[in-house]
Amino acid sequence: MSALHSLAQRCKRFSPLLAAPAALLLTQGDAKALLTYYISENAGNVEVQAVGSLLLPNSSSISECALVPGGLIDSSLAVICTGTDRTMNLYLHQGPTSFNGTVSISPADSVSGIPTALSGTLGFPVFAIDPGYTPGTPITSTATFNSTTLGALGFTTTGLLGTWTLQPADGSDPYTANDTIQVVIGAPPPAAVPGPLPLLGAGAAFGWARRLRKRTQLL
């Protein structure tokens, strides 16, 4: 009986440790929405790729975004535009009014995906996106500038250039998701592990925890 009692005590100590990883895995689903503009060299060209998703607060207005002449980068105004030119919804944001380098190039040689635009300038601090975009769904949008390099365009550093947070258009909006937009000099990372796998791991951990608790109660 003393050996069984010792085992029961060890199970009680391990049970919270097994449950903790499961809780951490489940809370990962609560991460805030993020859209990242990756600017990198690819096959002798410079490519801007907008990757991620946003939940979006209420729109400040709907307007023709003159910042999108088929793709644009302007570091002095923190402006990046991707995708095809069209009317877009505008959203207010807080963040840097410029980013590193002396880049000013437009239009792109080719674009694809839904239109997006980031403008950090004090006179027009907005993010814009296709009105047809469904919040929470993947955003894929590009602008490619042929036969050039990051250095030739005027970028002088790599890594994160800045972070912008979308804001409600008025104080009455209870929006709290805090969508974040980033600009990064570098290629997008490899595709992430599919979402269901961590949840399966969490379920397994909780299952082990429950079984251990039942065993200690029987002992």
User: How many C-beta atoms lie closer than 10 Å to residue 201's C-beta?
Assistant: 14
The whole-number pLDDT of residue 22 equals: 34
Return the bridge partners of 111, or none. 143
Give the range of the structural domain holding residue 118, as residue numbers without chain letter. Answer: 43-189
Greatest alpha-carbon pair distance for the chain in Å reads 80
Give the model's pLDDT for residue 60.
63
pLDDT tens, residue by residue, 36-64: 999 999 999 999 999 999 998 766 666 55
- Split at pLDDT 50, 70, 90, the class of 168 is confident
In a domain, 219, yes or no: no
Residue 11 in any domain: the answer is no
pLDDT band at 152 (very low <50, low <70, confident <90, very high): very high
Residue 150 lies in a domain: yes
What's the number of domains the chain is made of? 1
Residue 164 lies in a domain: yes
Q: Is 171 within the bounds of a domain? A: yes
Q: How far is CA 172 from CA 167, 175, 199, in A?
A: 12, 9, 36
Structural domain contains residue 168: yes
Examine residue 14 and state whether it is found in any structural domain, yes or no.
no
Q: Is residue 161 part of a domain?
A: yes
Position 166: which residue type?
Answer: L
